[in-house]
Structure 1
């Protein structure tokens, strides 16, 4: 039996994926979670075989969640669910050790296959994602986004800021000081060639790092 944890900020999505996976006789969804903190806590208690981790996970964010899972639960496989076009984020997550990536527009069969493949110890990438990623790494002028110049921590903070999370809340969630958050903010602003959070949101939307309905009011 393959045990699975589903992590997504939307209850409807969590319920839908759980129902889909319930038709597989060798799958068991042991928990669902809305935030990165909940994911880590559930893994501590349940030690699932696979975590389906959505880009929209609340709290500490997808990157920090993945890093903590890889560090604390090396036996748990992570399949990251991204929006189409989030190449910079996918690249960062693969670099830190995520075991598989699928996009939200894949078929049910591909999602099921990704779970089986990573459980068997095989890294999983849909063919189109693998091709675009390989092309961008081979030729930096192709499919590159400015976000690929950011470090893991900078990209994680960029995602949180783009979704409207305040510096004080980011500091609390990542166990760093607000001053450190601002240091990362201005460092990534320089790399991205921008000066304000508003410009960051526009850039994140343009490169599909976030969706319009993810933007929160300050």
Structure 2
């Protein structure tokens, strides 16, 4: 029994090339195509493919926006991100939203086929060359989580304001505490999150999306 595939990519030549490549052996059937995010969501509901090959860069909702909606609405489809992006930030975002697979467009056809059948069988498939970066980032993410949890609520508030570029005097005024108390908090924050200065602390806060947390 063949796997029913839908391809979502804003380049028609890429969609055509993928269709020709995937349908050669008869074990994969492309039942729908979409050139943007809105069309992708509409056709997903109408065609109900087994696997969606999803590009990240698309108009009218990019691939990650589409993925969020798929997960929010609990659509019954396996999602394989097929993209040019090998940056860990894109992969981490996709993993956090919830993907079944993630491979690069320069992968060999055998890798693409393997990814499709792997996720269709209920397992996950991540581009092998990206796995070390993902593992490293996941370890750091868990380490950062432990560091964040070690902060008191006041230290957490000070860190957020520090990351927004406020000086100690401004932080003190905002939180209605003394400047000396702010200095003590900043010193404790540096020790707990393992940084040496305000710039590194700000980078830590931004990396962990703390600035918008209230």
Instruction: Provide the rounded CA distance (Å) in 2 between the counterparts of 1:137 and 1:48.
Output: 31
CA separation of 1:24 and 1:68: change in aligned 2, threshold 3 A: farther
Report the equivalent of 1:130.
131
Shift of 1:103: 0.7
Instruction: Provide the rounded CA distance (Å) in 2 between the counterparts of 1:6 and 1:64.
Output: 16
Q: Is the 8 A contact 1:82 1:90 kept in 2?
A: no
Report the equivalent of 1:3.
4
Report the equivalent of 2:157.
none
Report the equivalent of 2:155.
none
TM-score (norm 2): 0.63
Q: Residues 98-135 of structure 1, C-alpha deviation per residue, up to 9 Å, x if partnerless?
A: 10000111100000111100000001112211111111
Greater Rg over alpha carbons, structure: 2
Count of equivalent residues: 143
Q: How does 1:137-152 map to 2 (within 5 A)?
A: 137-139=138-140
* Greater RCO (CA < 8 Å, at least 6 residues apart): 1
RMSD, aligned α-carbons = 1.8
Is residue 114 of structure 2 the alignment partner of residue 88 of structure 1? Answer: no
Q: Which runs of 5 or more structure 1 residues have no equivalent in the other structure?
A: 141-189, 193-218
Instruction: Provide the rounded CA distance (Å) in 1 between the counterparts of 2:85 and 2:98.
Output: 20
Instruction: Provide the rounded CA distance (Å) in 1 between the counterparts of 2:20 and 2:81.
Output: 19
Instruction: Provide the rounded CA distance (Å) in 2 between the counterparts of 1:47 and 1:24.
Output: 22
Instruction: Provide the rounded CA distance (Å) in 1 between the counterparts of 2:108 and 2:74.
Output: 28
Report the equivalent of 2:80.
79
TM-score (norm 1): 0.62
